[in-house]
Amino acid sequence: MKPKHTFRGVVMRTDPARRQGAPQPPMMRSGPAAVRIGREVAGRAGKGVSVIQGLPLGAAELEELATRLKKLCGAGGAVRDGVIEIQGDHRDRLVAELRKLGYEAKRSGG
C-alpha cells in the first residue's frame, strides 16, 4: 500500500525528529555592514535617484539618517522597504558622509 503523503510519487517525510537535523541558515557576519550606494532610474520617468542599501538600522533610525542626508544634499527623498532614496545623483557626497559616520560605504553600479 502506498503512503498517504506523496507528491508525484515521492514520499514526503513529516517525521519531526528528522527535521531537527536540518542545516541552519548562515549567520550574519559580525563586521561592519556593507552599505551600497547606487543610482536608479527605473519606474521614475527617467529621473535618477541615489539609492542607499544595506544599512543595519531600524525604521526610526533610517528616517533620521534619511533626513540628515537629504539636508546634506539639498534634495528630497524617502525611505521605502529599508532603502533610502535621495532624489538626484549624489553618490559621491553620500559615500563621504556615510564613511564619516562609520559605515563601510561603497558606490555600486556605473
Identify the CATH number of the domain in which residue 94 sits.
3.30.780.10
Q: Is residue 5 part of a domain?
A: no
Range of the domain at 53: 30-107
> Which residue has 538626484 as its cell numbers?
88
Q: Which three three-digit cell numbers place residue 92? A: 559621491
Question: Considering the entire predicted model, what is its pTM?
Answer: 0.68
pLDDT of residue 109: 81
How far CA 96 is from CA of 3, 14, 18, 99, in Å, comes to: 62, 53, 50, 5
Total number of domains in the chain = 1
Q: Is residue 65 part of a domain?
A: yes
Amino acid 29: pLDDT? 53
Angstrom distances, CA of residue 48 to CA of 89, 90, 96: 7, 10, 20
Distance CA 77, CA 74 (A): 10
Stretches where the chain sits below pLDDT 70 are 1-33, 110
